[in-house]
Amino acid sequence: MSALEQAPSVTRPKSLFLRLFLIFSATVILFLIVISLSLRQIDQNWRRERLNPLPVFYLDNVRLLVDAIGIPPDLQRAEGLARDLSLTIIIRSPHINWQSDDQSDLDVYSAVFVRTLSDEAQMMAVGNEQVIRVARGGYEYFLNRKAPSLSDYDYAVVYIGLGFAIFILFSNYWLVRRLMDPVRRLRQGAERICAGDLSYRVEVTRTDELGELTESVNHMADSLQSMLEAKRQLLLAISHELRTPVTRAKLQLEFMEDSALRETLRDDINEIDLLISDLIEAERLSTQHSALIQDDVDFADYVQMLAQQYQNYEGGLLLDVPEHDRAMQIDKLRVRLLLANIVNNAMRHGQNRPITIRVGFTESEAELSVIDQGEGISEEHLKHVREPFYRVDSARQRNTGGFGLGLYLCNLIAEAHGGRMDIDSEPGKGTRVTVFLPIKD
């Protein structure tokens, strides 16, 4: 086997632009061919009709035609001659105003003299039509050759040509749609990756520019996934490492004398400890390092038990649960964390107004809602509040909020259960956070 035969074959990319150009060119050429053939066939029939030398346009035969109609004119014979010879015959006299074709719009009263054909015959012009006028015995006979009309064959040619044109159009549409189908898959893939599904990859089925673009998008997703995973691993490692100095700080704090400084330090250390716990829990859920530990619970009863710890809220806590409870599987510790974060947010921003915790059930889902009547969230911030470390108030003060991990963690807990979290809010009227958890049989 020669070296040339052993060399691997190189697949040359097919140009998308060349394909589109070829499809467009083929469509135009086929259109021109179909239209040209149809028009040529019709034109041939038309010319054949026009060039057929009927005797009526020769002067001697005009005399014979008028003689055949007679004086006074025989209208039935005139109608038969007009039909057989494809003529329009108009007869005028003080007593007769007759024409063979009711559809004809020839106005012989506006006829213009062109030339004399004989003592009794003249060539007249009515618009673009030429009419022979014969005056005999007090009658005027106007003879005009009908324009040839399309025959059934001509109509068939037109319809067949139109059918081929429509077929070419639909074929062109189908080819272009099939050619651009990867664009639709790329858009869907980009939307899924943008929504956070970095594991999704667009199937590569082409070797042209769109195939190369698809590979680039998949490579971009690989890079993003690697970068985010490295960030998560680093954040998780740092959070674990911070636990040791925080524990030592708590231990040293116990040997300090009671003072305002000690209480301030205790609050700061507790806040750091809470932040570390939230970070570790969020990263575990987002990277699926730890599976849920699910137990069978009566959901409404469990929420009612969790809500008891918030009964001392100054604004008042209202609990709305259905009479008929339903059993479902949940991770109790993480659902407790979810409810705690949402209620704490409501208490922090509720402006000491009543907060409602509501439980409801549909056929396949449990709905847990926390409704406050506080300051609300504007539209520009609402779509970002579930992002990590995002805060509506950029000033990170204890009295205005934490570190922007609460709702992010709640959303992760809901998704880990196979559910979702919706947030509805209006500035000045309050916020409603609803968590939907599936009820599995």
- Report pLDDT for 37: 73
pLDDT for 252-266, tens place per residue?
Answer: 777 777 777 777 777
Q: Let me know: does 208 contact 13? Beta carbons within 8 Å.
A: yes
Cβ neighbors of 436 (< 8 A, separation 6 or more) are 365, 366, 367, 414, 419, 420, 421, 422
CA 232 vs. chain centroid, Å, equals 35
Burial per residue of 48-79, b for 16 or more beta-carbon CB atoms within 10 angstroms, e otherwise: ebeeeeeebeeeeebeebbeebeeebeeeebb
- Report pLDDT for 358: 94
Q: Return d(Cα 382, Cα 432) in angstroms, integer.
A: 12
Please classify residue 326 by burial: count the beta carbons closer than 10 Å to its beta carbon, then call 0-12 exposed, 13-18 middle and 19+ buried.
middle
- Mean pLDDT per 10-residue section of the chain, whose length is 441 residues: 43 60 74 71 56 48 83 86 82 86 76 83 82 86 72 69 75 75 80 76 78 83 76 64 71 75 75 68 57 84 90 88 91 86 87 91 93 88 78 53 71 88 90 92 65
pLDDT for 19-54, tens place per residue?
Answer: 766 777 777 777 777 777 766 766 665 555 444 443
Q: For 210-272, list the strands marked E by DSSP.
A: none
**What is the value of pTM for the model shown?**
0.45
Please classify residue 143 by burial: count the beta carbons closer than 10 Å to its beta carbon, then call 0-12 exposed, 13-18 middle and 19+ buried.
buried
- Report pLDDT for 52: 44
Q: Return d(Cα 393, Cα 391) in angstroms, integer.
A: 5
Q: For domain 292-438, is the CATH number 1.10.1060.10?
A: no
Instruction: Say what angle helices 260-286 and 209-253 make with each other, to 10 degrees.
Output: 150
Angle at 172 between CA 166 and CA 173, to 5 degrees: 90
- Report pLDDT for 6: 43
Task: Give the containing element (helix H, strand E) for 113.
Answer: strand 112-116
